[in-house]
Homo-oligomer: A and B are copies of this chain.
């Protein structure tokens, strides 16, 4: 099979879910991370993701998101065909979201190859990413599930890792390697070992594979989920679509695509990896926002917002101004201030990961109106 034949079978899928709790109060249940411009690029993360995939899958990019985000997603992606928008009645984690896309694509064409790329990631340079996806598609066409792993730039404990094995010999995919195993987020010490060894890549959650192969692994690992998705897909593109979706979806089990497909597939040697030599960030917290926005620097402060009115003195860190208010910062180092109409966060870049805990506590306290 030629590379161009493989590409005719390729569909990009963008799962757009996840609130991004560590980015509260900017990111909310009704305005999640992917609907924001977090890099000062002028476009939202989902729009950037879509644009990055267009040269690879023009007119063949599907978005899977929550029913409640329908209007916001269409506003961001007005060219999206109705048949390319899959709306989840409620969040069911990544195995259901990606599995449903796989099942729908499989019903439409059992030979489809899909690539799943989350809506809230920041990648540069784009052409290096695209070349990695091209190799992944070519590798997938040989009957494999292919992930794109990121070369570690530091000993991160925030990501899972991929242990890389021998090289493949696939024409058109010179970088392709076998995956030995996926490993969970490591301790500090283990992360140092992994990132220095050259044998490990970060797991960025990007999966490219023949839908038939992905569904086969899903059926083996999560038969109930597979059965439900198959029933929904059978009704897709028919008049019964919505009725069946609304009836079956709430009954589906919640699990991650990693557990349901990638790891069991790796265990039987079905997974390959393309090492990605591009910078990649999942914008996990406000420290990431500071890191990703050097251009927004005013003296020592990173200042984001439509019309920020920030005064700072002896201060450093990041301010996200979502209001018209004047923000004055005096004598605070590595501060994080996120100013929105109904909620204010004050923390430091060192504590950025703890924001998730605060959101959980606010929910418990009954302050859900601002979540």
State the A residues within 8 Å of B (CB): 24-25, 309, 311, 313-314, 324-332, 335, 337, 339, 341-348, 350-351, 354-355, 357-358, 361-362, 365, 367, 370
Is A314 within 8 A of B351, CB to CB?
Answer: yes
Cβ-neighbour of A346 out of B314, B346, B361 (below 8 A): B346
Q: Provide the bound-state CA to CA distance between A314 and B347, in Å.
A: 10
Chain B residues within an 8 Å CB radius of A343: 325-328
With a cutoff of 8 Å between Cβ atoms, the chain B residues found around residue A328 in the complex are 24-25, 343-347, 355, 358, 362
Asked if residues B335 and A346 are in contact (CB atoms below 8 Å), the reply is yes
Chain B residues near A335 (CB-CB < 8 A): 332, 346
Query: Nearest residue in B to A310 (C-beta to C-beta)?
Result: B344
A326 and B313 form a contact (CB under 8 A): no
- Residues of B within 8 Å of A348, CB to CB, are 330-332
The answer for the CA separation of A343 and B344 in the assembled complex, in Å, is 12
A329 touches B347 (CB 8 A): yes
Name the residue in A324, A330, A354 with the highest tally of chain B Cβ atoms < 10 Å from its Cβ: A330
Known contacts A311-B365, A313-B361, A354 near B342 by CB under 8 Å: no
Instruction: Report which of B314, B324, B325, B357 forms a contact with A313, defined as CB distance below 8 A.
Output: B357
Contacts of A341 in B (CB 8 A): 325
Known: A311-B361, A311-B365, A346-B337. A351 touches B330 (CB 8 A): yes
Complex Cα spacing A24 to B328, Å: 10
Chain copies in complex = 2
| Highest count of chain B CB atoms <10 Å: which of A350, A357, A358 | A358
> Across the interface, which residues of B come within 8 angstroms of A367, CB to CB?
309, 311, 326
> What is the CA–CA distance of A311 and B361 in the complex, to the nearest angstrom?
8
Contacts A311-B362, A313-B357, A357-B313 given; does A346 touch B327 at CB 8 Å: yes
Docked-complex contact A344 and B327, CB < 8 angstroms: yes
Q: In the complex, A355→B355 CA distance in Å?
A: 28
Chain A to chain B contacts (Cβ below 8 Å), 22 pairs: A25-B326, A311-B358, A311-B361, A314-B351, A314-B354, A324-B342, A325-B342, A325-B343, A326-B344, A326-B362, A327-B343, A327-B344, A327-B346, A328-B345, A330-B346, A330-B347, A330-B348, A330-B351, A330-B358, A331-B350, A332-B348, A337-B344
List 13 additional contacts besides A311-B361, A330-B355; criterion CB under 8 Å: A24-B328, A311-B362, A325-B341, A325-B370, A326-B344, A328-B344, A329-B347, A330-B345, A332-B346, A332-B348, A335-B346, A344-B344, A346-B346
List, in ascending order, chain B residues with CB within 8 A of A332's CB.
332, 335, 346-348, 351
Which residues of chain B are near A329, meaning CB under 8 Å?
Answer: 346-347
User: Which residues from B are CB-within-8-Å of A355?
Assistant: 328, 330
Query: Given the interface contacts A347-B332, A362-B311, does A326 sit within 8 Å of B342 by beta carbon?
Result: yes
CB distance from A331 to the nearest CB of B (A): 3
**What separation, in Å, do the CA atoms of A341 and B345 have in the docked complex?**
15
CA distance A327 to B345 in the complex (A): 6
Bound-state Cα–Cα, A335 to B334, Å: 13
- Residue among A24, A328, A343, A355 with the highest chain B CB neighbour number at 10 A: A328
